[in-house]
Structure formats: C-alpha cells, structure tokens
Amino acid sequence: MEIGVQFAQIRDCVENDAATTRAVDASALAGSWVNSNPDSNGIARMEISECNGNVTLQVCAIGPDGLIDWGTVDVTVFASTPLSTVSAGFTCCYDFGFVETRLQGMLLKGLMVLAELHTFKDDSKRVDYFVREYFASDHGKYQMGDSRIR
C-alpha cells in the first residue's frame, strides 16, 4: 500500500486511489428529532432535511411561553471514516448576535447525541458553556406546527 496523503492518525491513512471525493448520504440524519429529556430547558426538537444534496437544520428551543423557533441553517455532514459515504454526524452554527451556538450532532445507537457550545458575544458577563443532550426520533411532542412556537 503506497501512502500518498498526509495523516494525523492511522484512520486518516488511505490509499491514493481510494481517497476520491464522494457524496455522503445524509438520509440517516434526516427527520424529526425530539429531546429525550422531557424536563429539558434547552433544545426541544430538531428537524433535519435534505434536498438536492443540501442538508439543513431547524431548531426549536424551550422558551418561557412555548417553543422558540431558531430558524433554519445549513449543516456540514460528516462520515465516520475517510472512505465512508454514510453520514455519522453534522455541525452547524447559529449566530444570534449576542450569542453564537455551535451544534455538533452524531448518531449513536439510534439516538442523536447533540453537543451545544454557547459563546456569549455581549457584555453580559455570562460564562460560555457546553451542554450535551440526547434526541430520539419524533414521538409527537413539540410539533413544528405547534401554536406555541413564536
């Protein structure tokens, strides 16, 4: 095996002819995902959609008077290895002006594990923080058409 590409770990080491650009199938990520913790005070649900190779995420979070729709952003999809074409996770960013929220999701045993990294950009003196939550395929709670979403 002739190694013609640089690598930082053995998993990155692939043969030159095998390392061709291929599209990652995001179908495993697509769908409605609901927080598995009914007492969460963070993200309630996510909707991941794929259309013509473009993958987007819509988030609804828990607010004081119902769900808060964060809107839709494009996501970057990742495979589990350099040669795989099956999606294993994603990353994206929401910028609300006063805070930037980076999301990193990965599929694990049928659940979506979501890492949230919140970085405050205002002068509120709030500490940046990290949260990990678990999401299951939709069970009917926190519907996108819910009248409580603002």
Q: What is the pLDDT of residues 69-89, one digit of tens each?
A: 999 999 999 998 888 888 999
In which band, very low, low, confident or very high, does the pLDDT at 1 lie, cut at 50, 70 and 90?
Answer: very low
Average pLDDT over residues 32-52: 94
DSSP 63: E
Q: Which of 108, 103, 93, 94 is nearest to 28 (CA)?
A: 108
Q: Between 66 and 21, whose confidence is greater?
A: 66
CATH architecture of the domain covering 24-137: Beta Barrel (2.40)
DSSP 65: T
In which band, very low, low, confident or very high, does the pLDDT at 147 lie, cut at 50, 70 and 90?
Answer: low
At 24-36, the pLDDT tens digits run 899 999 999 999 9
The C-alpha atoms of residue 5 and residue 9 are separated, in whole angstroms, by 12
Residue 55, strand partner residues = 50
Q: Determine the Cα angle at 126 with ends 71 and 105, to 5°.
A: 40
Mean pLDDT of the chain: 87
Q: What is the pLDDT of residue 137?
A: 87
Q: What is the pLDDT of residue 4?
A: 58
**With 60 as the cut, is the pLDDT of residue 18 above it?**
no
At 118-131, the pLDDT tens digits run 999 999 999 999 99
For 140, the token pair is 């009917």
**With 80 as the cut, is the pLDDT of residue 150 above it?**
no
